[in-house]
Amino acid sequence: MATQSTTDNLGTGTQGVANPKAIITSVAQQWKIPPYIMLDTAQLESGDNPNLVVTDTNGATSTGLFQLNAKGVGAGYTTQQLQDPQLNATLAAQAMAPWVASGQAQGLSGLNLLEYVDNNAGWPGMLGVSTTQQVEPSYDQTLAQIYYGQTGPYLTGTGGQSVAAAAPTSTPNATGQSGSSPSGVTGYVRFGIEALGGIAMIGLGIWIAMNPFSDLTSALRQLGKGSATAQSKKTDHTTIGAHSKVSEDSSGPSEEERTRMDKAARAGVKSGRSD
């Protein structure tokens, strides 16, 4: 239950011992504890080895399925006694039961209830969830891995989760919808190019404003003037063409009109002579 420093496995695992998981489940039900809470804790503490003995940093030994510390929950019992899985699980259940009731009254369940019970009842210490996750975060992290990784009898009917949520099988495209086509990548690239182009233009404008007499600024201004001159020449050619058309239209009477005018003049002369 405390931070382990050395390990002395005095037994041979579960040899000659009834199924530890079955014992733990039975004890949990007797104490009205969701079985997954005790099963997950025993898995983390001892790997379900009722004979495991560890010397902790406080100098005392922690023994059995729930690694009951000789100066804590296991006080008053010998190492051999604490290696009895029935006794070990019962002592652990006594420590956990009040915190289970408290957590359930607050509406806790699943992993939240597991962490609440363990961190207050003594696994890895009686520090509460917040403090435990600050001073010994690896404990609850490992507890969560065990909780999400278990299947079958561990969590059946207990309200816990048997597996972690599956990762998405597809990625969002440019519109934010899931899909397997590469259109999302293309959209992101196009957007990125356009954004960079806009940023470059803004940066260029700021640079020109701050460096009005540089060679680059002069070149850009000449380029702008060249464009304006070309547009002006285009306008002049259009205007000249229009003037030419007007001049052609107003240059004088046509050959046919002049012939008629000459005939009319001659006729007038003849008429004057007759008079």
φ, ψ of residue 9 in degrees (nearest 5): -80, 105
* Distance (Å, whole) CA 197 – CA 194: 5
Cβ neighbours of 17 (radius 10 Å):
19
As beta bridge partners, residue 201 has: none
Per-residue pLDDT of the chain (275 residues; tens, 9 = 90+): 544 443 443 333 444 457 999 999 999 999 999 999 999 999 999 999 999 999 988 899 999 999 999 999 999 999 999 999 999 999 999 999 999 999 999 999 999 999 999 999 999 999 999 999 999 999 999 999 999 985 433 443 333 333 333 222 333 333 233 333 333 334 444 556 666 677 777 877 776 777 766 666 666 666 666 555 555 555 454 444 444 444 444 455 667 766 776 676 666 544 444 44
Pairing mode of beta strands 171-172, 178-179: antiparallel
DSSP string, 73-121: TTTTS-HHHHT-HHHHHHHHHHHHHHHHHHHHHTT--HHHHHHHHHHHH
Q: How far is CA 234 from CA 129, 220, 238, 246, 248, in A?
A: 80, 21, 6, 19, 21
Q: Domain 4-154 class?
A: mainly alpha
Query: In the chain, where are the structural domains located?
Result: 4-154, 187-269
